[in-house]
Chain A
Amino acid sequence: MSIDFYKALEISAIGIIGVFVFMTLFYFVIIGIDKLFPHKKEEE
C-alpha cells in the first residue's frame, strides 16, 4: 500500500471522530438554547 493510503486512513479516523465531535457539540447547543429560550405563547 502507498504512503497516501496510510495518510488517508489517518485522515479518515480523525475526520470521522471530528465530525461526530462537532455534531455532538451542536446537539448540546440545540438542547441548551432550546432550554434557555423556550417558545412562549405570546410569540404566536
Chain B
Amino acid sequence: MELEQLLPAIAGMSWRNLIMIVIGLTLIFLAIKKQYEPTLLLPIGFGAILVNIPFTAVLTQNGIEGPLNVFFEAGIATEIFPLLIFVAIGAMIDFSPLFQRPILLLFGAAAQFGIFMTMILATVCGFDIKQAASIGIIGAADGPTSIIVATQLARDLLGPISVAAYSYMALVPIIQPPVIKALTSEKERKIRMQFDANKKVSRTTLIIFPITVTILAGLIAPSSLALIGFLMFGNLIRECGVLNSLSQTAQKELANLVTILLGITIASTMTGEKFVQLSTLMILGLGIVAFVFDTAGGVLFAKLINKFIAKDKQINPMIGACGISAFPMSARVIHGMGLKEDKHNYLLMPAISANVGGQIGSVIVGGLILLLVPLFA
C-alpha cells in the first residue's frame, strides 16, 4: 500500500501548507503571549492550521461543503458577520465625548488619509483598482469595514487583508509614536488642551444623534447605509434607555459569538495556495504604509488647524493621530505619550473624542469606497 493511500494528509502536504501552519502557530503565539488582538488572531491562527491540512473536511469532503465554507458563504459573503459586529460596536460606543468638543470629529476624516495614499501606492505596485481599494481600507483600522470592502471588491485578498488589519490594529502602540515624534516638536507635544469634560449631554440628544446620522448618510451615500446603519442601530439600542438587556447582550454575547465565528471563518481563505504569494507580502507592507499615513494625516491636519485658531484653544497635534478607528487603543497611546512629555497633561478625553470620530470616519470611507470604486472600475 502506498503512503498516499495510508496517510493522504501527510503525503499531500505541500511547502505552502507547512508555511501556513507555521503562520497559524505564530498568530496563536502573538495572540496568547503578546495579547495582540487575541479575540481575532487566535481563531484566525487556529483556522489557518485547520484549512492547511490536506483533504481537510472543514472546507469540503466528498463533494459536500465543509463547515468553514458554509460559514463563509452564510456569514462573510453575505456580510452578516461583520454587520453584526457593527451592532455590537455601536452598542459599546459612547458618543457623548464628541459633544464636548465637536471640532475633534474632523480628525476622523483627516486620519483616513492613509487609506487613499495606500490605494494609490497599491496601483503603482500592480494591483487593479478594486484590489488597491481593498488594500487601502486596511488603513481604516477597522476590521469589519476591511472585511466588507474586501469581500465586495477583492474576495481573493480577504485573508491577507484581514490579518493585516487586525495585526496592525494591535501594533498601534508601536506604529504611531515614531511617526508622531517625527512630525511634531517637543513644544507641540506639550500643548495642553481645553476640554469641558463636565459638560452633560441630554438623553434626547444621544438618541437623536444615531438616527440623524443614519438618515443623512443614507440620503447622501446609500452604499454606506449597511455599515453606518448597523453601527448606529447598535448605538440606539444603547442610548434609548429601554433596551438595556439587549444592549448588554449586543456588547457581550453577540460580540463574543460573532467574533469567534468571524475569526475562524476568515481563515477559510488562508489556504497555502492562496496565501503564500508575493502579493500577501506586498499587502502586509502596504498595510503599514496605510497606518503611517493615517497617523501623519491626522497630526498634520491638527497642525494646520492650529494656524487658524486662538492660542488658548490650540490642539495638541498628537490628538490628530487618534482619528483612526482603533478604539480605545489609539486614545490610550496618545494619552500615554502626553503624560511622558508632561506628567500633568491629561489628553485622554480629547483623544477619545477624536478616536470616536475615527470610528465614524472609517465607516463613512468604507461606504464611499464601495460607492466610488464600482463607478470607476
Contact = CB atoms under 8 A, between A and B. Distances in A.
A40 B204 CA distance: 11
Nearest to A41: B200
Contact of A27 (B103, B116, B377): B103
Nearest to B106: A23
Given A2-B123, A5-B123, A5-B124, A26 B105 contact: yes
Interface of B: 98-99, 102-103, 105-106, 108-110, 112-113, 115-117, 119-120, 122-124, 127-129, 132-133, 199-205, 208-209, 212-213, 216-217, 220-221, 357, 360-361, 364-365, 368-369, 372-373, 376-377
Contacts of B123: 2, 4-5, 7-8
Given A12-B117, A18-B368, A25-B220, 13 more contacts: A11-B133, A11-B376, A19-B364, A19-B368, A20-B106, A23-B360, A25-B216, A29-B216, A31-B102, A33-B205, A34-B99, A34-B205, A39-B199
Contacts of B116: 8, 11-12, 15-16
Contacts of A30: 98-99, 102, 105, 209
Contacts of B117: 12
Interface of A: 1-2, 4-5, 7-12, 14-16, 18-20, 22-27, 29-31, 33-34, 37-40, 43-44
A11 B109 contact: no
Contact of B124 (A1, A10, A25, A43): A1
B360 A37 contact: no
A38 B202 contact: yes
B361 to A, nearest CB: 6
Contacts of B124: 1, 5
B106 A39 contact: no
Contacts of B377: 7
Given A5-B120, A34-B205, A23 B376 contact: no
A23 B208 contact: no
Contacts of A2: 123
Contacts of A1: 124
B119 A8 contact: yes
B109 A19 contact: yes
Nearest to B204: A37
B40 to A, nearest CB: 25
B120 A22 contact: no
B105 A14 contact: no
- Best-buried of A11, A25, A39, A43 by chain B (most CB within 10 Å): A11
Contacts of A9: 120
Contacts of A29: 209, 212-213, 216
B129 A4 contact: yes
Given A23-B361, A33-B205, A15 B105 contact: no
Nearest to B217: A22
Contacts of A25: 216, 220
Contacts of A40: 202
B223 to A, nearest CB: 11
Contact of A16 (B98, B105, B113, B205): B113
A21 to B, nearest CB: 8
B241 to A, nearest CB: 11
The 9 A-B pairs with the shortest beta carbon distances in the complex, nearest first, are: A12-B116, A39-B200, A23-B109, A37-B204, A4-B123, A39-B202, A30-B102, A5-B123, A19-B109
Contact of A4 (B110, B132, B199, B203): B132
Contacts of B364: 18-19, 22-23
B208 A37 contact: yes
Nearest to A44: B200
A29 B212 CA distance: 8
Given A5-B123, A26-B360, A19 B102 contact: no
A14 to B, nearest CB: 6
Contact of A37 (B202, B365, B368): B202
A44 B221 CA distance: 37
